[in-house]
A and B are shown apart, each in its own frame.
Chain A
């Protein structure tokens, strides 16, 4: 087996909550001892409900926020040990596509400047004409037209903006693309276009993808392997077929059972089964697990 492109070991991120007393600190453990690997060329799905820690995990991996503890190795480099210019250089290999194509693009910048910004910062390529050529190339790759270059984000629809965000992420030729709910805010008829784009990019560029989503259907479409997160932990990780046909954890089963399917006969069946499942679960676990832990920490 080839060495993984990304290896995450025992990643933990705690956020402090309000002070509750002398020498006691309350923390929310948003990511709790998470470990996984991503092989080159693979698409890993990170699935979970809101608050499950999937986005926080991604942000820690990129060190957009500092993890509390844990190790992240990317392309053989220990990301946690790097600082300053070295960190920025290595991190260039990981780029992110964000959920909200409206707030993630600067409304005052032209499309060409948005896409080129990373290249300008990293001076790759150093020559501005080469950068322009690269921008034009990227634009075509994501399915936008050359006359879009000088326009600003306001004149684009959600789907087009997401294409701009993808072009920006690809500008630095990353090895790893982290996509955080990239189609969640798009219209149904546009989602399929963007999902196809990801598939094409994966095939044409050999991209490695971490795809974060709450929607099991889109994840299934795109990802070879899937990690299911709940309350900061990975409760199950397996290949696509196993997760969707023989889920091991109760949580995964519940998620699959609850996902609505656009097929009336089957959906009505699912609803009935699901209602029955929930009734039995309600008896089993009465209270939701509390994740806020009190820890005695010496200040």
Chain B
């Protein structure tokens, strides 16, 4: 798990007394809640979430726990239906769920229990978010200057000041001629530039945590590299914590310090990036890594594949959700859900009955 280092990193945000006045430090909401400033910045505990659909109650998340430390970049990897995006949306309070249980502590405060007013306060100021598709996330009939500065305006920053800071932010994310581009509309920007605008919007109020949901998926590969580069730079510069949601193992491998692998609404494996990529102890992660075509090295005549397909949330297999596709499955896998824990001899946590055995296998990947 994460050990927070250094001062409670409101550092960058804290310096900005203008917008932060009156936010107050949150009080721990429940006994056992992490104390303000000492625990991880974000701590999700046993989050379970179901949607009411016409097929009945569908469980999207099933006991998800994860943390993001101060100034830590955490990647959440998963395929469609794994629950990675729902997790991100839950942090932002954006899921109209039928049933939610568990806790989402942000700086010691349980976001699932706070008032809607307080949640709005936290969202945008303390937590910024970047969506996959900036074209649908931006309002097409308002100038981007208007939209960036709104984040500050609704927090009581005066208009001229908000405009000035928004212009600075836009310049910082690499938009040339920012002063004039503030008056442009979203359609006047290219895809990559629009994503930069989204980043400016997310960061202008100087949040401590940024939730980025597939922020580069819609972009061409060269633009993707530039946007990732910018995000890394800004994360360093502003001491940001980042929760980075993606399906792309290549992207996450360079960006995240820690990786969480999700599947069918659960966390299957979690650990420092290098441990997870080089010493994975979960068959799903191993399978994914093996099935990826590579840009160099030997070209296999056939790729190793994970057979079958991810389960539908309406029809979850019993036991470990991955067991029908798992080449290492034992009878117990169909009966008991393996808990997420670090096996003996392993360097990180895996939710697999055979994690201990996998940890003993020498160099599965390399």
Chain A interface (Cβ < 8 Å from any Cβ of B)? 49-50, 157, 159-160, 187-193, 195-196, 199, 214-218, 220-221, 240, 244-245, 254-265, 267-268, 270-271, 274-275, 278
Contacts and interface: CB of A to CB of B under 8 A. Distances in A.
B15 interface: no
A189 B79 contact: yes
Contacts of B222: 49, 254-255, 258
* Interface-central residue, A49, A157, A192, A262, by most chain B CB under 10 Å: A262
B309 to A, nearest CB: 5
A261 B5 CA distance: 29
Contacts of A278: 225-226, 229
Given A188-B79, A259-B295, A264 B225 contact: no
A268 B254 contact: yes
A136 B269 CA distance: 41
Contact of A189 (B248, B277, B305): B305
B306 interface: yes
* B interface, size bucket: 35 or more
A263 B221 CA distance: 17
A274 B289 contact: no
B302 A216 contact: no
A259 B294 CA distance: 10
Contacts of A254: 222
A255 to B, nearest CB: 6
A271 B310 contact: no
A265 B229 CA distance: 16
Contact of A217 (B228, B289, B294, B304): B294
A267 B295 contact: no
B288 interface: yes
Contact of A260 (B80, B250, B296, B304): B250
B248 A260 contact: yes
List of 10 A-B pairs having minimum Cβ-Cβ separation, nearest first: A260-B250, A267-B254, A192-B291, A221-B293, A49-B220, A262-B249, A258-B225, A192-B303, A187-B79, A217-B293
9 contacts: A159-B309, A192-B292, A192-B303, A216-B221, A220-B293, A261-B250, A267-B253, A268-B254, A278-B225
A260 B228 CA distance: 11
Given A189-B79, A221-B303, A278-B226, A260 B254 contact: yes
Contacts of B273: 264
A214 B221 contact: yes
A141 B289 CA distance: 27
Contact of A214 (B220, B250, B293): B220
Contacts of B80: 187
Given A188-B288, A217-B294, A271-B254, A199 B302 contact: yes
Nearest to A219: B293
A263 B229 contact: no
Interface of B: 79-80, 220-222, 224-226, 228-229, 232, 247-251, 253-254, 273-274, 277-278, 287-289, 291-296, 299, 301-307, 309-310
A187 B305 contact: no
B293 A192 contact: yes
Nearest to B251: A260
Nearest to B300: A221
Given A221-B303, A260-B254, A267-B253, A191 B295 contact: no
B303 A195 contact: yes
Nearest to A196: B302
Interface centre among B80, B225, B226 (most CB of A within 10 A): B225
B28 to A, nearest CB: 35
B47 to A, nearest CB: 23
Contacts of B303: 192, 195-196, 221
Contact of B291 (A50, A189, A257): A189
Q: Which of B224, B232, B253, B310 has the most CB of A within 10 A?
A: B253
B301 A199 contact: yes
A42 to B, nearest CB: 16
Given A258-B221, A263-B277, A274-B225, A157 B292 contact: no
Contacts of A244: 295-296
A220 B79 CA distance: 23
B216 to A, nearest CB: 9
Contacts of A157: 309
A79 to B, nearest CB: 31
B249 A188 contact: yes
B293 A271 contact: no
A76 B193 CA distance: 46
B266 to A, nearest CB: 16
A262 B289 contact: yes
B73 to A, nearest CB: 12
B220 A50 contact: yes
Nearest to B302: A196
A274 B253 CA distance: 15
Nearest to B254: A267
